[in-house]
Amino acid sequence: MLDELPPPEAERLKKRFDAWREAMDRLKSEAPPISEDEPLFASELEKET
């Protein structure tokens, strides 16, 4: 997609993407192991309310 955008927009998007990617990679190291039954967040909280 970056190739299809005008240079200023592509540059802005790449900067934002790189910042997000870096934060996401850090987050991945904190992710808990996958359990056998992964419930959905929304259904869990809504069940309570």
Partner 1 sequence: MTAYAPIREVSQFLSRFELSSEELVRGQLDRAEKLSDLNAFISLLREEAISEARRLDAMRRRGEVLGPLHGIPITAKDLVWSKGRKTTSGSKIDADFVPDRDAPALASLRARGAVLLGKTNLHEFAYGVTNVNPHYGAARNPWDRTRISGGSSGGSAVALASGVGYGSIGTDTGGSIRIPSSLCGTVGLKPTYGRISRDGVTPLSWSLDHVGPMARTVEDVAVLYEAMSGEAIDAAPSDDGSPLRDLKVGLHTRYFFENLTPEVEGAVRNALTTLSSLGASIVEIHVPEIEIQGPCRNTIAFAEASCYHEKNIRTRPQDYGEDTRDLLRLGLLVPATDYLTALRVRRSVVGAFRKAFEAIDVLVAPSTPATAPPIGSSVLENGEELRSGLLRLAGPFNTTGLPALSLPCGFTGNGLPIGLQLAAAPRRETLLLRVARALEMRSGPGRLPAV
Indicate the residue among 7 and 27 with the shorter CB distance to partner 1. 27
Asked if 36 is part of the footprint of partner 1 (rule: CB under 8 A), the reply reads no
Both structure tokens of 1 = 């997609």
Residue keyed to tokens 């991945």:
28
Both structure tokens of 8 = 């200023």
The H-assigned helical ranges of 1-49 are: 7-28, 41-48
Asked if 11 is part of the footprint of partner 1 (rule: CB under 8 A), the reply reads no
Looking at 3, 7, 34, 36, which residue binds partner 1 (CB under 8 A)? 34
Q: Where are any strands of DSSP class E within the chain?
A: none
Asked if 3 is part of the footprint of partner 1 (rule: CB under 8 A), the reply reads no
Neighbours of 11 (CB within 10 A): 12
Interface positions with partner 1 (CB under 8 A): 1, 5, 9, 12-13, 16-17, 20, 23-24, 26-28, 30-32, 34, 38-42, 44-46, 48-49
